[in-house]
Chains A and B, each alone.
Chain A
């Protein structure tokens, strides 16, 4: 566990020492803030004391934001060769993967924490439903976990960051849009399966304020699946033919 913590801390520090992290966070907050407060179906337009406008836009901004963070996580280390250095230390592949996973997740949680002024403002101007807001944030964190593990997997199979970014978007787009759209065109159990696979079904379910074990298991399964795949890609070098 200590090794995981060390890697998490190092990764997080490296993030905040690079300009790219700030640019990403500012773009995320800028787009989310713009559509939450200034344009489209923003909070004053809907006239409701609810953070729902923010949650629906964050669903999309996170989809782009997370691959942009995860793309360099492993790909860059592979390219520069530092991954060899890291893996020859007394850490297991799992500890490396988990360390990088938690670092990214923490970065996203910190970014989301910067949107707490939204919550405080809406709280002060109307009867907000606190339970629904916290569930909305929880939903975003669970969704981030799934997307981060997909992003790490994409980053582990290539040493090109752009390829990693596009690959992670490509896998993500299935869970974010394609399953959802397809499920509306199919009937019966195949449609049910597609609807279950779609991330939006589960995200919407949590962000309305209800925590369902179904949704938790879904998000944790995708996260775990992605991490296991990442780990097995990393451990490929140990395979004896």
Chain B
């Protein structure tokens, strides 16, 4: 017998169970990460860092409560992340959450620790109110502490936390020298690179004179875009550095552009000659690539001035990399006025491997070049196929000790510049150079973390516009025609069946 009461009780019970189930599920859950790069799981680099912890680390998270759900989600995600960190580190990581908005003292404490408040809009009693919110954390180990002033949601969270922990735990940071004094930019003109290197290394600039030596503490020397020539004595110093097992990274292009005259010329530096002796020749031509970045060009139409992006093949975008620890996870590096590399090593004890290439539609142009943004490019301009733009050389580069050399055929691509002209670089540009320095210094611990969360999955840039249009309309129309086709087919079949049924000799 079914009565109203019975139905009501059953419904109430079932919905009670469902709600309870949801509450339980929101506290205890399992996550399966199906993304190809495991973007939402801890990377091996993090696991390694956590496994090698010897001293306990305290994470104090200053997170405001009572925030709109989209921001409160960051707090929840961060808590989930910390739970996982604590598990993976064998409880070496201890964490606590503090609500700085609770009392005035805790707010002052948070600000003194270096946490920066953000202003958010909260709706309260039909009014939009501004509220200070804190989303930062302090990481402590012993008497050392590091601050993450603002936690960014997403994959950046893991990067921030892991690098901060790494920063605290690294003992005796190795020294990296930046060569100056021959027209190279100062370290301060490369803030993005500096920030990343600061985690693992001490950085200092190095000037070399003939008959001097590079201080013993430097294991790796970085030479970015030397504009002036070096003396023979200076080259001998570099050779001696290699001979004692030092490693060198060179980012050098044999060509340069002067944007005020819109002219491109050869660089008046003899640095290329030294590299040539090591078996890597930096070609004295501009690399041009159909797969390139754009520049903004002002166009006047009547009274109006428009800014239109125009493809500029002198800014090649590199998507093709050889498998190598340096290029792991890199997706697109944008070079600026680059030169292709050539290899001519006669010495069999030196192993040279190209690691990055331009696209299949590339070419070179001999300086001097006049840059004409209005020039229309066709495939006839790109006749050379893919050209190497970066290479590594290992072996007895000078003397009898093994050493390593990385050469990248562009110097500008890692320089932010200073003052008003400073520009933001592509994240992979910085990743490329820091990975190379890690490889040279035998520390590839952060490589995986660095390129994690870079989500660019570019569509093949060599697609012709006509192919694109074809693909667009094919994809738009094919499913529709398939459905119509099936409908007609089914209609015909039904008609046949019907005809058979009404035909006389059925039965």
The interface residues of chain A lying within 8 Å CB-to-CB of B122 are 187
The interface residues of chain A lying within 8 Å CB-to-CB of B29 are 212-214
Q: Which of B18-26, B229-237, B422-430 contacts A (4 or more CB under 8 A)?
A: B18-26
Contact A232/B34 with A16-B490, A187-B122 known, Cβ cut-off 8 Å: no
The interface residues of chain A lying within 8 Å CB-to-CB of B72 are 187, 191-192
Cα separation A238 to B66 with both chains bound (whole Å): 49
Whether, in the assembled complex, A185 has its beta carbon less than 8 Å from a beta carbon of chain B, the answer is yes
Residues of A contacting B: mostly? helix
Cα separation A195 to B460 with both chains bound (whole Å): 38
Total residues of chain B contacting the partner, CB 8 A: 60
Known contacts A187-B67, A213-B25, then 5 further A-B pairs from the complex at CB < 8 Å, ordered by chain A residue: A33-B476, A37-B476, A122-B459, A134-B34, A210-B31
Whether, in the assembled complex, A228 has its beta carbon less than 8 Å from a beta carbon of chain B, the answer is yes
Q: Is A125 a contact partner of B22 (Cβ separation < 8 A)?
A: no
Interface string of A114-143 (1 = CB under 8 A from B): 110110011001111111101100000000
Q: Which of B209-217, B287-295, B440-448, B478-486 contacts A (4 or more CB under 8 A)?
A: B478-486
- For B34, give its contact among A43, A191, A211, A218 (CB under 8 Å): A211
The interface residues of chain A lying within 8 Å CB-to-CB of B123 are 185-186
Cα separation A73 to B56 with both chains bound (whole Å): 62
Whether, in the assembled complex, A161 has its beta carbon less than 8 Å from a beta carbon of chain B, the answer is no
Q: Enumerate 20 A-B pairs (CB-CB under 8 Å) in ascending A order.
A: A22-B487, A33-B480, A37-B471, A44-B459, A49-B457, A121-B474, A121-B475, A126-B457, A127-B458, A129-B37, A131-B35, A185-B68, A185-B123, A188-B65, A191-B68, A210-B32, A210-B34, A212-B32, A229-B11, A241-B4
Contact A194/B7 with A37-B472, A48-B456, A214-B25 known, Cβ cut-off 8 Å: no
Q: Is B7 a contact partner of A211 (Cβ separation < 8 A)?
A: no
Whether, in the assembled complex, A1 has its beta carbon less than 8 Å from a beta carbon of chain B, the answer is no
Whether, in the assembled complex, A160 has its beta carbon less than 8 Å from a beta carbon of chain B, the answer is no
Contact A117/B475 with A22-B484, A191-B69 known, Cβ cut-off 8 Å: yes
Q: Is A132 a contact partner of B34 (Cβ separation < 8 A)?
A: yes
A196 to chain B, nearest CB (A): 7
The interface residues of chain B lying within 8 Å CB-to-CB of A132 are 34-36
Q: Which of A24-32, A55-63, A168-176 contacts B (4 or more CB under 8 A)?
A: A24-32
Q: Which 5 A-B pairs have the closest CB atoms?
A: A131-B34, A195-B69, A209-B35, A217-B25, A114-B479
Size band of the A side of the interface? 35 or more
Residues of B contacting A: mostly? helix
Whether, in the assembled complex, A84 has its beta carbon less than 8 Å from a beta carbon of chain B, the answer is no
Name the residue of chain A whose CB is nearest to the CB of B331. Answer: A127
Cα separation A129 to B34 with both chains bound (whole Å): 9
Q: Is A212 a contact partner of B30 (Cβ separation < 8 A)?
A: yes
A134 to chain B, nearest CB (A): 7
Whether, in the assembled complex, B167 has its beta carbon less than 8 Å from a beta carbon of chain A, the answer is no
The interface residues of chain B lying within 8 Å CB-to-CB of A184 are 68-70
The interface residues of chain A lying within 8 Å CB-to-CB of B25 are 213-214, 217-218
Interface string of B121-151 (1 = CB under 8 A from A): 0110000000000000000000000000000
Q: Is A183 a contact partner of B69 (Cβ separation < 8 A)?
A: yes
Taking each of B475, B477, B478, B484, which has the highest tally of chain A beta carbons within 10 Å of its own beta carbon? B475
Interface string of A10-38 (1 = CB under 8 A from B): 00000011000010011001100110111
Cα separation A26 to B486 with both chains bound (whole Å): 12
The interface residues of chain A lying within 8 Å CB-to-CB of B458 are 47-49, 126-127
The interface residues of chain B lying within 8 Å CB-to-CB of A17 are 490, 494
Cα separation A227 to B15 with both chains bound (whole Å): 12
Contact A211/B31 with A47-B458, A185-B123, A224-B18 known, Cβ cut-off 8 Å: yes
Name the residue of chain A whose CB is nearest to the CB of B483. Answer: A25
